[in-house]
């Protein structure tokens, strides 16, 4: 039944004038409640995949329009679920608030983990509330909200308490206790009553938002910029350029660039645009999507060519193309903002009380963001004394045209500055990584596997799969102590003389249905995050460490790729599909390598628990069978690899350290990971599987397959590598991957093994990153993987720890099915998803690196200047007009060494080997630079060894870093017998030493603050730091070798 009425809206038109619009409203009885508790027919009308109010929360909450508008951030908290936003509230945000706020509200409703909905109360016959003549809007809003709350309460037959939140005292007084289990409360009381114990800091956030709302300014997001129409016209006709603002971390107040956004992926995006100074930046913040007007050529400037503090061009997302010329470049100013990309920022108050006071009159204080690229933010808080030595999270609310700093508010504290947990939390927040324990609702979707109630395979499921349990010898080879085995292998001779190779991967998608809560969570995380001392899983432990871990002796579901190969390793046939397997051996690398080398003795048998109950002839036969399989596998991999190398695959430098675990999971030892042929064997089989899966899905879904490509590097990016190589008389050929690989192989200095390693690492740095993409969005000739020399590649072999593999599994299984049942994501959806995954992968790599740097700094804290661990050999790999960039092989660290100070003094090393500051100048040439001083002239060449001193450059507001100071222009005199092993062991001992301290600290912390229950919970959800040493921690200088 429809009922018509008119709704009067007051809107602002484009010129800012108020206009009144009359809209016809049709009311219906069947506007759905969107609750899982509904006993009626509502849910028949729900669009598929949309959020529903959950059945397992303690109550539903309905904020009134004002509360929703001013405190939306509180309702964004992942803990608060079952929120009903009335249409009245949404419209109030849409028309009265800002675009950004409205988008955030939409994001809350879209996130199915939040179980929150928009209820179209004004269209609902029984829930709408007519505004009375002369009634104030605020009053009508409150009444309308109550009417909706009342409707819900009755519609759901009082089966769940409903809480309405408002700030109107009188209303709370009148209606607060009118109906049992239908509450009307003030937000402060609601938070105190329900959430303050569950969400630490939520009341602080409330207080801080309350202060913001008192000094509330209008939505000034886009004030002081050109109107949108003019901007879009300008962009269309080429007058303006659009792109993301990238602030130079080491020169944040002076230098920023616009990386132009590509209109289409194939088009060259053109060069960067320089935005010099804060005035030209016009209140844009790093990451914003902005519109730029390019200035006349006469006003173009050049980018700075010096190293400055923090000199970190080697890290972060700084520009990779290090142009070393002082040429001018397109220079512009910002005239408009298309999209604010503000996020939560880690910050702290100034250490210096006086300067930290800021604008006291207005009750406001300045905080310094951790990220150098973000300007100071003005916030108001009464808790400054309690928070003075804390890392806190702040958010920016506005940046008014006449203000030097943006305004923001305090969100929560991460803990005391310098405390390991606070510093790690800061790294996670800064990289936008959210890794809360898995929720109960997520865990409830997954099968249980307990001693009382062990998980079993279903017979029906088994009969639908190819059963390899009795027909194939399947085994896994991983690092020692590995718990989550996601890949296994098999190899056997066929009667026709051909060979059958099998790669069997955990069938994660059997357990994780598309759009389930577990799936949404995994997608949002996209990857397991490995930090230097801990790990955050992408999937709950019941899957990653149990049901999807292909350990030996148990039945497991798998997805297999099985090839029939000719004796010359040509693929004769390939089969893809779901299987049932039972791995017979869980081996580790060193063991498999030893067996291959013919060592079969008591020690080997002792390390294969699967053989412990056997002896005599049976043992002999089993050992022989296993050994033959390993030999065969290595031979196949050798053949496959030879073919790839022939077509130009690159071998790049990668240093890894492996953590060895004791029974109790504490670190027993950190072993430099010795490179064995068996590592290559396993990697090669995985690459082979990934390649063949890529071929299959790209063929079946030419426009919607998820692949991974590694683009051709740009030639100019090799400039520094070429200069370095030429300083030793080597020549680098970059015209193809094959030539690059071969020329790198030739760069060998028998007396200086660091040279080859360093050059390979520079080559890696010069490369673009490999990335996921959707096949419909890129021309076919750009699918290739440059580093691996393959025409198609994807990720299939690690669905436990990478979400891309989960998608690829679904696509592969769909591709081999006869009848299509599930609908795959569209091309656009898949492209968005691949961007998201790429972003999360990058973030987790940055976080990993930053956590390693944190540990390095903790290691050097408190070491005296005379400590022999602080004086090291370093190799020059880049020249600047005021210094050098060096590589320290012993610790694998790269950083700047200054030769010239800010006040123009230069460093001269005297005959007695002492570095002295004196007046002079530095001149930079192609492969060397010269210090001209009153004391004499000295030359520094690329790849020259020098001696530097390492010390901690402690920072209050930012991440601490290591300072490198020149001690001598000669190599450090230390026996260089086996440099690399020393380097690896040093790195290993850093983590070991620092983390044992940190673990102690943490244990104290937990026993004080968190209690035993928390420990148990963490353990149960597989996110305990106890499992942090799980697997191994690797220091990777390249992700290429490991792109399997
Ligand atoms: Zn209903």
Show the DSSP H helices in 526-615 as ranges. 541, 589-596, 602-606
Q: How far, in Å, is the centroid of ligand 1 from the Cα of 73?
A: 28
Burial class (CB within 10 angstroms; exposed 0-12, middle 13-18, buried 19+) of 643 = middle
Q: Residue 106 Cα, ligand 1 centroid: separation in angstroms?
A: 22
Average pLDDT (688-717) is: 91
pLDDT digits (tens, 9 = 90+) for 555-593: 999 999 999 999 999 999 999 999 999 999 999 998 999
Do 526 and 840 meet the contact criterion of CB atoms below 8 Å apart?
yes
pLDDT range class, residue 318, cuts 50, 70, 90: very low
- The token duo for 355 is 């300067």
Report the separation in Å between the CA atom of 145 and the middle of ligand 1, taken as the mean of its atom positions.
17
Q: Is the dihedral of CA 468, 473, 479, 480 positive or negative?
A: positive
Q: How far, in Å, is the centroid of ligand 1 from the Cα of 5?
A: 23
The alpha carbon of 31 and the centre of ligand 1 are apart by a number of angstroms equal to 8
CA–centroid distance, 206 to ligand 1, in Å, is: 32
The pLDDT value recorded for residue 346 is 97
Q: Check whether 257 has a pLDDT greater than 60.
A: yes
| The pLDDT value given to residue 1013 | 32
- 44 CA distance to ligand 1 centroid (A)? 10
Residue with tokens 């393959």: 790
From ligand 1's centre to the CA of 121, what distance in Å? Answer: 13
Residue located via tokens 């405390």: 419
- The pLDDT of residue 1040: 28
- The string of DSSP codes covering 235-279 is HHTTSEEEEEEEE-GGGTTTEEEEEEPPSSTTS-----EEEEHHH
CA of 853 to the centre of ligand 1 (A): 54
| Cα 640 to ligand 1 centre (Å) | 60
Any idea how long the chain is? 1044
Tokens representing residue 597 in the block: 């080398």
Among 141-150, 668-677, 703-712, where is mean pLDDT lowest? Answer: 668-677
What is the Å distance from ligand 1's center to 29 Cα?
11
What pLDDT was estimated at residue 651? 66
Q: Alpha carbon 637 to chain centroid distance? A: 32
Q: 396, 408 in Cβ contact below 8 A?
A: yes
Distance 41 CA to ligand 1 centre (A): 6
The rounded Å distance from CA 797 to ligand 1 centre is: 44
Cα(118) to ligand 1 centroid in Å equals: 13
Phi, psi of 595 (to 5 degrees): -65, -40
φ, ψ for residue 895, nearest 5 deg: -175, 175
Q: How far apart are CA 649 and CA 704, in angstroms?
A: 27
How far does residue 157's CA lie from ligand 1's centre (Å)?
Answer: 10
CA of 45 to the centre of ligand 1 (A): 10
Q: How far is the CA of 40 from the centre of ligand 1 (A)?
A: 5
Q: How many A from CA of 126 to the centre of ligand 1?
A: 12
Select from 558, 583, 537 the least CA-distant residue to 465.
558
pLDDT at site 733: 85
Buried-exposed string 828-853: b where 16+ CB fall within 10 A, e elsewhere = eebbebbeebbebbebbbbbbbbbbb
Separation between Cα atoms, residue 523 and residue 836, nearest integer Å: 9
Q: How confident is the model at residue 272 (pLDDT cuts 50, 70, 90)?
A: confident
H or E element that contains 564: strand 555-565
If pLDDT is split at 50, 70 and 90, which confidence band does 676 have?
confident
Long-range contacts of 232-236 (CB under 8 A, 24+ apart): 234/291, 234/293, 234/335, 235/291
Distance (Å) from CA 195 to ligand 1 centroid: 27
Mean pLDDT computed over 210-216: 71
- Distance from residue 151's CA to the centre of ligand 1 (Å): 10
Q: What is the CA(155)–ligand 1 centre distance, in A?
A: 6
CA of 30 to the centre of ligand 1 (A): 9
- 931 φ, ψ (degrees, to nearest 5): -95, 120
Rounded Cα distance between 332 and 280, Å, is 7
Cα of 76 from ligand 1 centre, angstroms = 24
Q: 97 C-alpha vs ligand 1 centroid, how far in Å?
A: 30
Nearest to 950 by CA among 896, 880, 877, 884: 896
**What is the 8-class DSSP label of residue 1000?**
H
H helix or E strand, kind and range, residue 362? none
pLDDT of residue 999: 39
What is the pLDDT averaged over residues 768-777? 91
Q: Is the pLDDT of residue 311 over 80?
A: no
**Distance from the CA of 108 to the center of ligand 1, in angstroms?**
21
Token couple for 669: 């030892």
pLDDT band at 698 (very low <50, low <70, confident <90, very high): very high
CA geometry: angle 462, 463, 467, nearest 5 deg: 65
Q: From ligand 1's centre to the CA of 84, what distance in Å?
A: 13
Ranking 496-510, 757-771, 931-945 by mean pLDDT, the lowest is 757-771
Longest dimension (CA), the chain: 98
**Ligand 1 centroid distance, CA of 142 (Å):** 23
- Mean pLDDT over 835-847 rounds to 94
Q: Is 1015 exposed, middle or buried (0-12, 13-18, 19+ CB in 10 A)?
A: middle
Instruction: Find the 35 Cα to ligand 1 centroid distance in Å.
Output: 6
Residue 821 pLDDT > 70, yes or no? no
pLDDT, tens only, 106-135: 999 999 899 999 999 999 999 999 999 999
For 1013-1033, how does the pLDDT look when each residue is reduced to its tens digit (9 = 90+)? 323 333 333 332 322 222 122
What's the CA-to-centroid distance between 171 and ligand 1, angstroms?
A: 27
Ligand 1: distance of its center to the CA of 33 in Å? 4
Three-state secondary structure string covering 28-61: ECCCCCCECCCCCCHHHHCCCCCCCECCCCCCEE
Distance 581 CA to ligand 1 centre (A): 46
pLDDT in the model for residue 888: 85
- 246 neighbors 259 (Cβ within 8 angstroms): yes
> SS3 for 894?
strand
- Ligand 1 centre to CA of 156 (Å) is 7
- The number of angstroms, rounded, from the C-alpha of 316 to the middle of its chain's C-alpha atoms is 13
C-alpha distances out from residue 94 to 133, 301, 312, 397, Å = 24, 42, 42, 17
Interatomic CA distance for residues 674 and 807, integer angstroms: 33
| pLDDT above 50: residue 494 | yes
Distance CA 1044, CA 1039 (A): 9
Rg of the Cα atoms in the chain: 31
Determine contact, residues 934/916, Cβ cutoff 8 Å: no
**Ligand 1 centroid to residue 154 C-alpha, Å:** 10
How many angstroms is it from 212 CA to the middle of ligand 1?
Answer: 37
How far is it, in rounded angstroms, from Cα 995 to Cα 680? Answer: 31
CA of 59 to the centre of ligand 1 (A): 16
Residue 650 has pLDDT above 50, yes or no: yes
How far, in Å, are 62, 74, 77, 154, 453 from residue 165 at the CA level? Answer: 6, 12, 16, 18, 43
CA dihedral sign, ordered 1032, 1036, 1041, 1043: positive
Band (646; pLDDT cuts 50, 70, 90):
confident
- How close is the Cα of 61 to the center of ligand 1, in Å? 16
- pLDDT over 80 (residue 1042): no
More confident residue, 318 or 370: 370
Percent of the residues in the chain that have a pLDDT greater than 70, as a whole number: 83
pLDDT beyond 60 at 1004 = no
Check residue 841 and give its pLDDT.
94
CA of 553 to the centre of ligand 1 (A): 49
pLDDT per position as a tens digit, 779-793: 998 998 888 889 999
Q: Please give the pLDDT value at position 308.
A: 63
The rounded distance, in Å, linking the Cα atoms of 519 and 54 is: 17
- The band of 499, judged by pLDDT with boundaries at 50, 70 and 90, is very high
- Rounded Cα–Cα distance for residues 530 and 538 (Å): 11
> How remote is the CA of residue 160 from the centroid of ligand 1, in Å?
13
Burial state string for 949-976 with b = 16 or more CB within 10 A and e = fewer than 16: bbbbbeeebbbbbbbbebbbbeebeeeb
Which of 110-124, 229-243, 303-317, 983-997 has the weakest average pLDDT?
983-997
Which tens digits make up the pLDDT trace of 592-635?
999 998 887 788 888 888 888 887 888 889 999 999 999 999 99
Rounded to the nearest whole angstrom, what is the distance from the C-alpha of residue 152 to the centroid of ligand 1?
8
Q: Report residue 264's pLDDT band, with 50, 70 and 90 as the boundaries.
A: very low
Model pLDDT, residue 1010 = 26
- The CA 1001 to ligand 1 mean position distance, Å, reads 51
- The pLDDT value recorded for residue 1032 is 22
How far apart are alpha carbons 209 and 284 in whole angstroms? 23
Reported as a single tens digit per residue, the pLDDT across 170-208 is: 999 988 888 889 999 999 999 999 999 988 889 889 988
Q: How far is the CA of 32 from the centre of ligand 1 (A)?
A: 5
Report yes or no: 381 and 169 within 8 Å, Cβ to Cβ: no
Distance 822 CA to ligand 1 centre (A): 28
Per-residue model confidence as pLDDT tens digits over 78-108: 999 999 999 999 999 888 767 788 989 999 9
CA of 81 to the centre of ligand 1 (A): 18
Asked if residues 37 and 49 have their Cβ atoms less than 8 Å apart, the reply is no
Distance in Å, CA 439 to ligand 1 centroid: 26
Q: Ligand 1: distance of its center to the CA of 85 in Å?
A: 16
Using the predicted structure, report yes or no on whether residue 292 has a pLDDT greater than 90: yes
User: What was the pLDDT predicted at 997?
Assistant: 41
Block residue for tokens 């004080």:
1008
Q: Give pLDDT, residue 357.
A: 52
Ligand 1 mean position, distance from CA 87 (Å): 16
Q: Does the pLDDT of residue 268 top 70, yes or no?
A: no
Cα-to-centroid distance, 43 and ligand 1 (Å): 7
Q: How far is ligand 1, taken at its centre, from the CA of residue 120, in Å? A: 12
Separation CA 855–CA 849 (nearest Å)? 10
Instruction: Please give the distance, rounded to the nearest whole angstrom, from the Cα atom of residue 42 to the centre of ligand 1.
Output: 4
Please count the CA atoms within 13 angstroms of the CA of 252 that sit on its side-chain side: 17
Residue 367 CA, ligand 1 centroid: distance in Å: 48
**pLDDT at position 23:** 65
Residue 125 CA, ligand 1 centroid: distance in Å: 13
Pairing, β 18-28 against β 182-185: unpaired
Q: Give me the pLDDT at residue 6, please.
A: 66
- In this predicted structure, the answer to whether residue 1000 has a pLDDT above a threshold of 60 is no
Which parts of 295-394 fold into alpha helices (H)?
353-357, 384-387
| Cα–Cα distances in angstroms (integers) from residue 1043 to residues 199, 459, 787, 799, 808, in the given order | 39, 37, 9, 14, 15
Q: How far apart are CA 694 and CA 705, in angstroms?
A: 8
| Under 8 Å between Cβ of 324 and 305 | yes
CA of 459 to the centre of ligand 1 (A): 38
Task: Please tell me the predicted confidence (pLDDT) of residue 1043.
Answer: 52
**pLDDT given for residue 744 in this prediction:** 85
Expressed in angstroms and rounded, the spacing between residue 49 Cα and the centre of ligand 1 is: 17
24: which residues sit within 8 A by CB, 6+ positions away? 4, 5, 6, 7
Mean pLDDT of the chain: 82
Report residue 323's pLDDT band, with 50, 70 and 90 as the boundaries: very low
């Amino acid at each position: 039944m429809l009922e018509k009425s008119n709704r009067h809206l007051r809107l602002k038109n484009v010129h800012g004038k108020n206009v009144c619009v009359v809209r016809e409203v049709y009311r219906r009885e069947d506007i759905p409640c969107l609750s899982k508790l509904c006993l009626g027919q509502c849910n028949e009308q729900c669009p598929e995949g949309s959020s529903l109010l959950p059945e397992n929360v303690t109550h539903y909450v309905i904020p009134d329009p004002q509360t929703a508008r001013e405190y939306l951030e509180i309702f964004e908290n992942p803990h608060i679920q079952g929120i009903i936003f009335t249409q009245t509230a949404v419209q109030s945000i849409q028309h009265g608030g800002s675009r950004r706020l409205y988008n955030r509200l939409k994001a809350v409703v879209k996130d199915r983990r939040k179980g929150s909905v928009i209820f179209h109360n004004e269209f609902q016959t029984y829930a709408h509330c007519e505004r009375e003549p002369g009634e104030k809007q605020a009053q009508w809003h409150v009444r309308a909200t109550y009417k909706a709350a009342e409707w819900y309460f009755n519609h759901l037959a009082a089966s769940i308490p409903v809480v309405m939140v408002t700030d109107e005292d009188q209303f709370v007084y009148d209606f607060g206790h009118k109906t049992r289990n239908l509450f009307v409360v003030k937000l402060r009381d609601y938070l105190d009553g329900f959430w303050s114990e569950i969400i630490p800091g939520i009341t602080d956030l409330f207080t801080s938002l309350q202060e913001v709302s008192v000094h509330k300014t209008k939505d000034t997001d886009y004030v002081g910029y050109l109107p949108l129409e003019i901007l879009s016209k300008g962009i269309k006709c080429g007058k303006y350029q659009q792109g993301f603002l990238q602030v130079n971390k080491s020169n944040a107040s002076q230098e920023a660039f616009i990386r132009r956004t590509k209109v289409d992926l194939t088009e060259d995006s053109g060069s960067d645009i320089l935005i010099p100074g804060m005035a030209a930046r016009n209140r844009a913040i790093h990451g914003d999507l902005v519109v730029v007007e390019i200035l006349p050529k006469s006003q173009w400037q050049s980018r700075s060519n010096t190293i400055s503090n923090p000199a970190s061009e080697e890290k972060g997302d700084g520009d990779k193309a290090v142009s070393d010329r002082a040429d001018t470049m397109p220079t512009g100013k910002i005239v408009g903002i298309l999209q604010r990309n503000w996020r939560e920022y880690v910050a702290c108050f100034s250490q210096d009380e006086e300067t930290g006071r800021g604008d006291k009159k207005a009750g406001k204080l300045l905080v310094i963001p951790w990220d150098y690229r973000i300007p100071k933010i003005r916030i108001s808080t009464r808790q400054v004394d309690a928070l003075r030595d804390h890392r806190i999270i702040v958010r920016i609310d506005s940046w008014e045209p006449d203000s030097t700093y943006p305004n923001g508010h305090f969100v929560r504290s991460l803990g005391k500055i310098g405390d390991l947990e606070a510093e790690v939390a800061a790294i996670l927040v800064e990289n936008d990584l959210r890794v809360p324990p898995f929720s109960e609702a997520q865990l409830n979707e997954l099968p249980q596997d307990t001693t009382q109630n062990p998980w079993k395979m279903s017979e029906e499921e088994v009969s639908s799969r190819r059963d390899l349990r009795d027909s194939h010898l399947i085994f896994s080879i991983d690092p020692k102590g590995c718990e989550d085995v996601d890949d296994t292998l098999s190899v056997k001779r066929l009667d026709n003389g051909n060979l059958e190779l099998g790669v069997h991967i955990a069938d994660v998608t059997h357990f994780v249905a598309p759009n389930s809560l577990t799936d949404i969570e995994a997608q949002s995380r996209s990857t397991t995050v490995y930090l230097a001392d801990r790990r955050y899983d992408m999937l709950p432990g019941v899957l990653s460490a149990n049901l999807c871990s292909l350990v030996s002796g148990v039945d497991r579901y798998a997805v297999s790729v099985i090839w029939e190969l000719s004796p010359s390793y040509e693929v004769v046939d390939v089969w893809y599909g779901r299987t049932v397997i039972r791995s017979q051996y869980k081996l580790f690398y060193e063991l498999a390598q030893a067996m291959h080398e013919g060592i079969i003795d008591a020690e080997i048998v002792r390390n294969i628990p699967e053989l412990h109950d056997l002896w005599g002839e049976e043992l002999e036969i089993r050992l022989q069978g296993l050994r033959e399989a390993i030999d065969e596998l290595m031979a196949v991999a050798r053949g496959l690899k030879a073919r790839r190398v022939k077509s130009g695959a690159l071998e790049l430098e990668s240093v890894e350290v492996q953590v060895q675990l004791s029974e109790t999971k504490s670190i027993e030892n950190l072993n430099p990971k010795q490179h064995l042929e068996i590592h290559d064997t396993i990697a090669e089989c995985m690459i082979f599987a990934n390649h063949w899966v890529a071929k299959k899905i790209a063929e079946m879904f030419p426009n919607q397959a998820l692949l991974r490509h590694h683009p051709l590097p740009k030639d100019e990016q090799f400039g520094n590598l070429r200069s370095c190589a030429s300083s030793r008389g080597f020549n680098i050929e970059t015209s193809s991957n094959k030539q690059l690989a071969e020329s790198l192989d030739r760069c060998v200095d028998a007396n200086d093994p660091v040279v080859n390693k360093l050059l390979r690492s520079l080559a890696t740095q010069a490369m673009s990153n490999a990335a996921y993409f959707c096949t419909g969005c890129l021309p076919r000739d750009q699918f290739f993987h440059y580093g691996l020399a393959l025409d198609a590649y994807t990720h299939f072999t690690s669905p436990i720890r990478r979400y891309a593999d989960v998608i690829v599994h679904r696509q592969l299984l769909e591709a081999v099915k006869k009848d299509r049942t599930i609908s795959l994501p569209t091309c656009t959806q898949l492209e968005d998803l691949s961007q998201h995954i790429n972003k999360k992968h990058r973030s987790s790599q940055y976080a990993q690196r930053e956590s390693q740097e944190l540990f390095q700094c903790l290691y050097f804290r408190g070491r005296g200047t005379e400590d022999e661990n602080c004086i090291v050999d370093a190799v020059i790999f880049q020249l600047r007009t005021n210094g050098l960039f060096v590589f320290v092989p012993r610790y694998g660290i790269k950083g700047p060494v200054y030769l010239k100070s800010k006040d123009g003094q230069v460093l001269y090393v005297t005959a007695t080997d002492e570095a002295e500051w004196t007046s002079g100048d530095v001149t930079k040439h192609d492969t060397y630079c010269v210090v001209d001083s009153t004391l004499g002239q000295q030359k520094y060449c690329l790849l020259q060894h020098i001696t530097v001193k390492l010390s901690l450059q402690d920072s209050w507001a930012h991440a601490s870093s290591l300072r490198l100071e020149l001690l001598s222009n000669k190599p450090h005199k230390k026996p260089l017998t086996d440099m690399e092993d020393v380097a690896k062991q040093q790195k290993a001992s850093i983590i070991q030493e620092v983390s044992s301290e940190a673990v102690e600290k943490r244990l104290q912390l937990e026993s004080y603050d968190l209690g035993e229950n928390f420990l148990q919970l963490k353990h149960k959800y597989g996110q305990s730091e106890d499992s942090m040493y799980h697997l191994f921690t690797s220091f990777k200088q390249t992700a290429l070798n490991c792109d399997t």
